[in-house]
């Protein structure tokens, strides 16, 4: 084996160790590792922020281009679904209402 193959394997092992340790650091010490109250408050919003980062770019684009207008059916349906979620707090109403508006606009 050449030097290049060893470097590749070393990079793979190093990346695996970094990935494992960055996730295991919160589990291994048990209850000894406590985050500050501010960090815990901020981390409560992480799932919602990640979901928005996935959904909003899809809603704001039409045919591969940015389309923030009333002519974009996905954006209109997403806004209706958001309004339903805020008003009813019902997952079923949110999904059904958003999909119904999307089907009607298409």
The most confident of the ranges 1-10, 22-31, 95-104 is 95-104
Cα 73 to Cα 61: distance, rounded to the nearest angstrom: 10
CA 69-75-81 angle, 5° bins: 140
Q: What is the pLDDT, as a whole number, of residue 31?
A: 57
Tens digit of pLDDT for each residue in 63-86? 888 888 888 999 999 999 999 999
- Which stretches of 1-106 are assigned E, i.e. beta strand? 61-62, 65-66
Tens digit of pLDDT for each residue in 24-57? 877 776 656 677 899 889 989 999 899 999 999 9
Nearest-CA neighbor of 81 among 104, 59, 97, 102?
Answer: 97
| Predicted model pTM | 0.60
């Amino acid at each position: 084996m050449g030097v290049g193959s060893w470097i590749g394997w070393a990079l793979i092992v190093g990346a695996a160790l970094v990935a494992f340790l960055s996730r295991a650091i919160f589990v291994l010490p048990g209850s000894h590792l406590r985050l500050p109250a501010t960090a815990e408050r901020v981390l409560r919003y992480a799932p919602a922020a990640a979901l928005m980062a996935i959904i909003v770019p899809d809603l704001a684009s039409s045919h591969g281009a940015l389309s923030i207008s009333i002519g974009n059916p996905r954006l209109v349906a997403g806004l209706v679904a958001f309004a339903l979620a805020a008003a009813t707090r019902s997952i079923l109403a949110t999904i059904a209402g958003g999909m119904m508006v999307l089907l009607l606009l298409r």
